[in-house]
Structure 1
């Protein structure tokens, strides 16, 4: 008989057609409300957002800061850094370009502050530039050096005949060329049932795997859960499994050579991703010289039994 486990932090309550709390990339899909924010969150925010958003924010902040100081230089008198052109927009552009040279500490020498007020503002702006670019450099290093797993999971999991019964299977591989050292995996199943009072409740089960830890992984690992009498899926027929409101949660950890430390990867499968009575196609072969060739495009290939 399948043994239930305590709530791992997802909550027993559920909802009809509830979305997964884990995105495809392993990030959380939980919407936070009334969460207190602090300056300490800035580093986490800037290291977690996409590269496109990161550089877009840097460019926007850099441009806005230069525009702000350009208005300041025009307000105190553009003559304190360069002769006025007599046109507001041209003076503003001169202030903008002088601000960019000061902020980046380039200092071409074509424009230089003359008055005391302009020198004080330029000195203050140079300090902001030094601090700002130091902060951005730290963020770039943090983004590059942050340990991150590069695991690809099969798009679907399968249920097929296996030995004297059936088994649930899915595959994973390292998208990098490094070897995964001592990978270890934990798989939990969540089944949502409807009670007599029309409430939805989650039940959690930790799935017993054929192997949950191996020495190292250079190619592909097929994860196998045999559906035996102690499996929570044993009581369901094939037609019932296709209608089951359930989700598989996966936690994988291994030693990553690129960062010389242990990394973690989270993934999940809704039962909508299940395919019945097929088997995974081999994804690696040998070339004429006897070398093992791993085809990443074949991770998801299946064929009927």
Structure 2
């Protein structure tokens, strides 16, 4: 491996996968985006603030539409001011939500028909929103924190690549597994371009219990896809490292997963991670996550039992 000792570089590598493991910067041609046929998936994956905004906007638009339907026939709402949109909208909200204060009521066949239709739409809308909210809340997620940098260092006298992660929840993930994949651009013998995925073998690819932190180690030996590679050669191949974590959440008893990705610019050569497991004077261990992303040069002195401050 190369001996560039700086944790970062001013050069930028093309990112095909973002830091969260999602594919980015890829334009899809020839496939029509399903804007309305896949709304369930869209509502489950959209951020909560946009989800709530969509629910509120849908509620307001539906009630405004029914209010305009009431205004189409003057004096169809008893107790409301004729032609007043505010009264019609308030009556629509009461009908839509099945509140019914009694101050306003439908008058005539036309109003009763609209009220019946709105009551049905209101029940369906509330049931749909409730179901989507429950499905969104019930989605199992893993709060796994990955380090900002990937370390290229020396471990047990051998060159190694290291990735560290931590469980941000105060629970346990059992039967956790991790895979590291190197993505590189290659040219076939026929001259064709391919994006190849090469698995990096880990010293310990699984752990029975993941509760605090986990440092994954890949030894860069003769069988490693990284053997003989340098920063320049990896940049030429637009290399990226993808980490995929899978385990069973001990609280919900459901499978959770997490992903992260790094470009060559995120590789810290000849650096290792600062210790986060520290020792008090009485010998008690503590975990200091403030040091989670900190890097230390390989030639810096190391402590066998780092003291907690």
TM-score normalized by the length of structure 1: 0.84
Match runs of 1:220-299 below 5 Å: 220-237=213-230, 240=233, 245-286=238-279, 292-299=285-292
- CA apart distance, 1:172: 0.8
Cα separation, 2, equivalents of 1:288 and 1:252: 35
Cα separation, 1, equivalents of 2:279 and 2:102: 64
* Counterpart selection for 1:48 from 29, 45, 48: 45
1:24 matched to 2:7? no
- Which 5+ residue runs of structure 1 have no aligned equivalent? 1-15
Is the Cα contact below 8 Å between 1:255 and 1:262 reproduced in 2?
yes
Cα separation, 2, equivalents of 1:218 and 1:167: 24
- CA apart distance, 1:196: 9.6
Corresponding residue number in structure 2 for 1:72: 69
- CA apart distance, 1:110: 1.4
Is the Cα contact below 8 Å between 2:13 and 2:265 reproduced in 1?
no
Runs of 4+ more than 4 Å apart? 30-33, 194-200, 237-244, 286-292
Superposed CA offset, 1:114-169 (max 9, x none): 22211121121011111100100001100110111211111110101223331111
* Counterpart selection for 2:297 from 287, 299, 304: 304
Corresponding residue number in structure 2 for 1:190: 183
Q: Would the alpha carbon gap of residues 163 and 240 (structure 1) be closer, same or farther in structure 2, given more than 3 Å must change?
A: farther
Corresponding residue number in structure 2 for 1:92: 85
Corresponding residue number in structure 1 for 2:99: 106
* Counterpart selection for 2:56 from 39, 46, 59: 59
- CA apart distance, 1:17: 5.8
Superposed CA offset, 1:79-125 (max 9, x none): 4333435xx4xx11110110011111111111111222111211210
Q: Would the alpha carbon gap of residues 83 and 104 (structure 1) be closer, same or farther in structure 2, given more than 3 Å must change?
A: closer
Corresponding residue number in structure 2 for 1:82: 79
Q: Would the alpha carbon gap of residues 78 and 299 (structure 1) be closer, same or farther in structure 2, given more than 3 Å must change?
A: farther
Is the Cα contact below 8 Å between 1:193 and 1:245 reproduced in 2?
no
1:207 matched to 2:203? no
Cα separation, 2, equivalents of 1:98 and 1:23: 48
Superposed CA offset, 1:18-52 (max 9, x none): 431x3333334355452363866222111110001
Root mean square deviation of aligned Cα: 2.6
Q: Would the alpha carbon gap of residues 195 and 36 (structure 1) be closer, same or farther in structure 2, given more than 3 Å must change?
A: closer
Cα separation, 2, equivalents of 1:136 and 1:290: 53
TM-score normalized by the length of structure 2: 0.83
Give the match's secondary structure for 2:21.
Answer: coil
- Which 5+ residue runs of structure 2 have no aligned equivalent? 1-11, 299-309
Q: Would the alpha carbon gap of residues 123 and 203 (structure 1) be closer, same or farther in structure 2, given more than 3 Å must change?
A: closer
Cα separation, 2, equivalents of 1:119 and 1:290: 77
Q: Would the alpha carbon gap of residues 294 and 78 (structure 1) be closer, same or farther in structure 2, given more than 3 Å must change?
A: farther
Is the Cα contact below 8 Å between 1:81 and 1:118 reproduced in 2?
no
Give the match's secondary structure for 1:177.
Answer: coil
Cα separation, 2, equivalents of 1:302 and 1:248: 19
